[in-house]
């Protein structure tokens, strides 16, 4: 009798323990934390975060906070347009992951506005571009014809392998140019990762 | 003194193995620096005493540029003799104590050698920011 009770208890406890281990549920993680997945051969969320943080801090500290920003936009804000961001890596990436963070941060400074009617691949917002053209044609309001600044950049990759260790380096380069084509701010952020296989976190 | 050769070799090998993971840093600087840091008094809340023992805050200095953006620089030191990883994150607050969030408020991973000190810098996301908080994280895995 006692033996049966003990056996039943063991089965129940084992089932409870295994039930906890076999969980395959997806969990939410803070994308701004270090709990996101990282691997050597790709640009992961943490890498984009680190690159954008470095660019934003540098741009604010070296150009905006120093009082060098000159603007012709509303309330004297500088008008920024995004130029070409070259992906020189072996992986397919959407550079907007980086550019959008920088744009959001610059808009948040209260010193910069983004022109989404100007772009190399056509306007980001075609309706806004049409409205701007119309306003310029009718002369109903003062519309800046050219952005004060353009932001361009390049992402470069370098891979190395030694024994069973592999290393990936991603170099993020960005430049801010005036209407005259002069670069008034430049920054480079290098992120290097080493590993034997995909790993979680750092 | 009578040294057994096997013991001597074994001890040397053990010391070499122990020392292999440690790489410390020697630094030099001017005795009278040309700059004067605006050091601020800080309040520390330590919940991870293990991390606080390994990564120590040496000083915090704050400045403000012509644009009115707060700039904070914190000097950290690796008090151990081994290579350490840690992460930090800035939080910014306006004059009313409200959090001013932005894309740059993310955890940044840094590494330093044994006994090395380094600076981490943060710039406020806009000119309304009047206060800050620095969070330090230890590698949990």
CATH of the domain at B74: 2.60.40.3230
Q: Is residue B16 part of a domain?
A: no
Chain A positions touching chain B (beta carbons under 8 Å): 31-34, 46, 49-50, 52-53, 56-57, 60-61, 64-67, 69, 101-102, 104-105, 108-111, 200-202
- Residue B140 pLDDT > 60, yes or no? no
How far off is chain A from B1, nearest CA to CA, in Å? 45
By residue range, what is the domain housing residue B42?
Answer: 36-138
> How confident is the model over A66-85, as pLDDT tens digits?
888 888 888 889 999 999 99
Residues 6+ apart with CB under 8 A from B118: B75, B76, B110, B112
> Which of these ranges, A54-68, B15-29, B91-105, has the smallest mean pLDDT?
B15-29
* Residue found under tokens 């840093």: B25
**pLDDT for position A126:** 86
In a domain, B28, yes or no: no
Indicate whether B14 belongs to any domain.
Answer: no
Considering only CA atoms, which of A141, A180, A53 is closest in space to residue B102? A53
Helix (H, G, I), strand (E, B) or coil at B13: helix
Inside any domain, residue B116: yes
Q: Can you give the pLDDT at residue A118?
A: 79
> Does 3.40.630 match the CATH number of domain A48-200?
no
CB atoms A65 and B68 under 8 Å: yes
Does A65 contact B67 at a Cβ distance shorter than 8 Å? yes
Please determine, for residue A145, whether its predicted confidence score (pLDDT) is greater than 80.
no
Please give the backbone phi and psi of residue A173, each rounded to the nearest 5 degrees, phi first: -120, 135
pLDDT in the model for residue A155: 98
Q: What angle do CA B85, B90, B94 make, to 5 degrees?
A: 170
Q: Which of B68, B103, B123 sits opposite A52 (nearest CB)?
A: B103
Q: What is the pLDDT of residues A3-60, one digit of tens each?
A: 676 776 676 666 655 555 555 799 999 999 989 999 999 999 999 999 999 999 999 9
Residue carrying the six token digits 């347009």: A81
In chain B, how many domains are there? 1
């Amino acid at each position: 009798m006692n033996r049966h009770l003990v056996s039943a208890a063991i089965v129940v406890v084992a089932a409870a323990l295994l039930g906890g281990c076999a969980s395959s549920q997806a969990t939410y993680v803070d994308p701004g934390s270090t709990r996101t997945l990282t691997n050597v051969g790709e640009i992961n969320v943490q890498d984009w975060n680190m690159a954008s943080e470095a660019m934003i801090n540098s741009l604010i500290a070296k150009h905006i906070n120093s009082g060098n920003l000159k603007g012709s936009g509303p309330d004297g804000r500088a008008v920024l347009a995004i130029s070409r961001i070259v992906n020189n890596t072996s992986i397919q990436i959407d550079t907007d992951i980086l550019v959008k963070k920088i744009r959001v941060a610059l808009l948040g400074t209260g010193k910069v506005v983004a022109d989404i009617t100007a772009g190399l691949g056509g306007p980001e917002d075609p309706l806004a571009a049409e409205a701007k053209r119309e306003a310029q044609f009718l002369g109903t309001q003062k519309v800046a014809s050219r952005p004060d600044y353009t932001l361009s950049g390049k992402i470069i990759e370098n891979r190395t392998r030694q024994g069973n260790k592999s290393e990936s380096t991603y170099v993020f380069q960005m430049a801010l140019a005036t209407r005259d084509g002069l670069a008034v701010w430049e920054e480079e952020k290098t992120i290097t990762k080493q590993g034997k296989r995909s790993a979680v976190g750092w | 003194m009578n040294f057994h050769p096997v013991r001597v070799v074994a001890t040397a090998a053990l010391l070499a193995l122990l020392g292999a993971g440690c790489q410390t840093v020697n630094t030099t600087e001017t005795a009278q620096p040309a700059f004067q840091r605006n050091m601020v008094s800080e309040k520390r809340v330590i919940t991870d005493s293990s991390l606080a023992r390994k990564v120590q805050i040496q000083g915090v200095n704050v400045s403000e540029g012509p644009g009115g953006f707060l700039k904070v620089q914190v000097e950290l030191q690796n008090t151990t003799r081994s290579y350490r990883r840690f992460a930090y994150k800035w939080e910014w607050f306006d004059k009313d104590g409200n959090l001013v969030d932005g894309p740059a408020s993310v955890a940044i991973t840094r590494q330093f050698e044994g006994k090395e000190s380094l600076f981490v810098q943060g710039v406020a996301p806009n000119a309304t920011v009047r206060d800050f908080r620095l969070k330090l994280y230890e590698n949990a895995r």
